[in-house]
Amino acid sequence: MGVSLGNMTLSPYHRFAIEKEKLWKDLPERERRILVEILGQDTQNPMRVMDIILCANLGSQATIHAALTNLQKAGYLRYTSYKADGRSKFITLSPKSVSLFKRLDRLLVACSQSAEQLAA
């Protein structure tokens, strides 16, 4: 069933869009996109800092580097050094990021189930 907002009922998708923004509220769009990019990486082959900095679709190298610094300071990212070459660093999601994506997953599932109930 949709969520009622005054005399208007929101569709499950609209509810997801609104609630998703509440979960992301503390993160600028570029930082959100960086987290999603890192989330999409194979856990067996973590992303290097240089890999994300070279993603032209995320902005200039300086802008991406600043966003990575902000994400680390906010507790969303962790850096680990590559043992064979201490100059290379890998980026992994912190427990804070993992928790955020789990909440987004639960929200998506709840909205999907709501849509299925409406269709039935």
**Residue 40 counted as domain residue:** yes
Check residue 6 and give its pLDDT: 55
**Residue 57 counted as domain residue:** yes
Check residue 97 and give its pLDDT: 94
Check residue 72 and give its pLDDT: 95
Check residue 26 and give its pLDDT: 87
Q: Whole-angstrom Cα distance, residue 42 to residue 101?
A: 16
**Residue 19 counted as domain residue:** no
Domain span including residue 33? 28-119
Domain count, the chain: 1
Check residue 1 and give its pLDDT: 44
Check residue 113 and give its pLDDT: 84
- Token digits of residue 120: 């039935």
Q: In this structure, what CATH number is given to the domain that contains residue 38? A: 1.10.10.10
Backbone dihedral angles phi then psi of residue 48, each to the nearest 5 degrees: -85, 155
Q: What is the pLDDT along the chain (120 residues), one digit of tens a residue?
A: 455 555 567 788 888 888 888 888 889 999 999 999 999 887 777 888 989 988 888 999 999 999 999 999 999 999 988 777 777 888 989 999 999 999 999 988 888 887 777 776
Model-level pTM?
0.80
**Residue 69 counted as domain residue:** yes
What does the H/E/C string look like for the chain?
CCEEECCEEECHHHHHHHHHHHHHCCCCHHHHHHHHHHHCCCCCCCEEHHHHHCCHHHCCHHHHHHHHHHHHHCCCEEEEEECCEEEEEEEEECHHHHHHHHHHHHHHHHHHHHHHHHHC
**Residue 16 counted as domain residue:** no
In 10 A of CB 27, how many CB atoms?
19
